Copies of this chain bind each other. A is one copy, B any other.
Amino acid sequence: MKQSKLFGKTTKEIPKDETSLNAQYLIRGGFIDKSMAGVYTYLPLGKRVISKIENIIREEMDAIGGQEILMPALQKKEDWQITGRWDIDVMMKVKTYFDKEYGLGWTHEEVVTPLAKKYARSYKDFPFSLYQIQTKFRSEKRAKSGILRGREFSMKDLYSFHINEKGLDKFYEQSKGAYFKIFDRVGIKDKTYLTFASGGDFSKYSHEFQTLTSAGEDTIYICDKCHIAVNQEIIEDLKNSCPECGNKNLKEEKAIETGNIFKLMTRFSEAFNFKFLDEHGKENVVLMGCYGMGPSRLMGTIVELSNDENGIIWPKSVAPYQVHLVCLGDDKTVTNEAEKIYDSLQKEKIEVLYDDRNESAGVKFKDSDLIGISLRVVISQRTLGNDNVEIKERSKKEAEFASLDGLVEYIKDKI
């Protein structure tokens, strides 16, 4: 992509109405645009990042046998009345001109349970799990954390269905593994803690995945020995000690919830009378689990964790492009060579943002740092004099030089 054609300009100006760092950098870098409080448009750069995050999540859901579906945002009032959640504050309510009323989905138990019930009847149909990556809506009175907490946001929600607790437990553990693989792939695993939370009426614990950041709205208590944490809700019940090793020396930290997994047990299957026939032809209530993770929140969290005073530092896996090719000056020899490099990288299916704009070196370097693509390749009269280009990883201080000869292979090794 030629940067001169890219929609969404960088700006030095810090948006006045945004207090969160993720929103400031993402808006300044041209990744998102604020449409209203808590409601954002993803511009071309931002759309690329969130699609990459979604695809990583998708791959890890598929790997544990999740089947992708797409459920509607418009939801049946009657089904939410069955579970007693119709009048919960977070629910946005929709009206048509002919006075039909819907709920606007902030979660999908009320859709997925009746759906699963239609297709699964015998114990042989179990276990199975369904997920979607879909837009959710929430009435958040205060929306002030950028894309960490929006009124409209992208969510991956997975639901699993089982005939016994052993099966549910097993899948629950698999989902934990999948979640940590995702955190690893998007570069936030080290700062992310499996966090013990209340299990509600049925289980001892549920689990959140909390990522340490000062931007987080949650307070957690971490055990350095076990690399786990306890949330505020249950820390007193646990007498301020680690549920795994008993360590009483827990550290208080600010964190953001980047995922949660929950054994719903029979909460929703009972409400919708979702039963299966066992081997003996006897009816039993289905057990369920739910597993949430928000791609837009992950994107915001990555920005909160991975930046410096000049801008974002994207992990390679989710950077909008793999290479930022920056051409300095408008000397014909230089621009020709830059075009050639641009073409050869594209031929190799390497994603390149090519800064072909008529701007100063200073402006271009500033923008490149702000946008934060992992690898920057600079070509100028000076580098070309030595038959080379300058290569710099966004996360490193020092640049290096690479010869024009064999450049594409050199870059391939770096990305």
On A, residues with C-beta under 8 Å from B are 5-9, 33, 35-36, 39-44, 46-47, 50, 65, 67-76, 89, 91-98, 100, 102, 104, 111, 115, 118-119, 128, 130, 135, 137, 139, 141, 151-152
Contact = CB atoms under 8 A, between A and B. Distances in A.
Contact of A115 (B33, B70, B135): B33
Contacts of A151: 74, 96
A5 to B, nearest CB: 7
Contact of A95 (B9, B47, B70, B93): B93
A119 B152 CA distance: 23
A67 B118 contact: no
Contacts of A141: 96, 98
A135 B7 contact: no
Given A94-B92, A115-B33, A41 B7 contact: no
Nearest 6 CB-CB pairs, A to B?
A96-B139, A42-B70, A44-B67, A89-B97, A39-B72, A41-B71
B139 A97 contact: yes
Given A94-B92, A94-B94, A94-B104, A115 B41 contact: yes
B43 A69 contact: yes
22 contacts: A7-B67, A7-B69, A33-B115, A35-B72, A35-B74, A35-B75, A35-B111, A36-B74, A39-B72, A39-B74, A41-B70, A41-B71, A41-B111, A42-B70, A43-B69, A47-B69, A72-B152, A74-B152, A91-B97, A96-B139, A98-B141, A100-B139
Contact of A9 (B47, B75, B119, B152): B119
A365 B376 CA distance: 55
B119 A8 contact: yes
Given A42-B70, A69-B47, A119-B8, A95 B98 contact: no
- Give the interface centre of A6, A43, A46 by most chain B CB atoms within 10 Å: A43
B50 A70 contact: yes
A7 B128 contact: yes
Contacts of A139: 96-98, 100
A333 B350 CA distance: 45
B119 A76 contact: no
Given A33-B118, A35-B76, A95 B95 contact: yes
Contacts of A40: 72
A137 B68 contact: no
Given A9-B119, A39-B74, A76-B35, A69 B98 contact: no
Contacts of A70: 41-42, 46-47, 50
Nearest to A296: B70
Nearest to A118: B33
- Give the interface centre of A6, A72, A115, A139 by most chain B CB atoms within 10 Å: A72
Contacts of A89: 97
A145 to B, nearest CB: 17
Contacts of A76: 35-36
Nearest to A96: B139
B50 A6 contact: no
Contacts of A68: 44, 47
B42 A73 contact: no
Nearest to A139: B96
A93 B94 contact: yes
Nearest to A108: B41
Nearest to A71: B41
B41 A73 contact: no
A39 B76 CA distance: 10
Contacts of A35: 71-72, 74-76, 111, 115
A219 B147 CA distance: 46
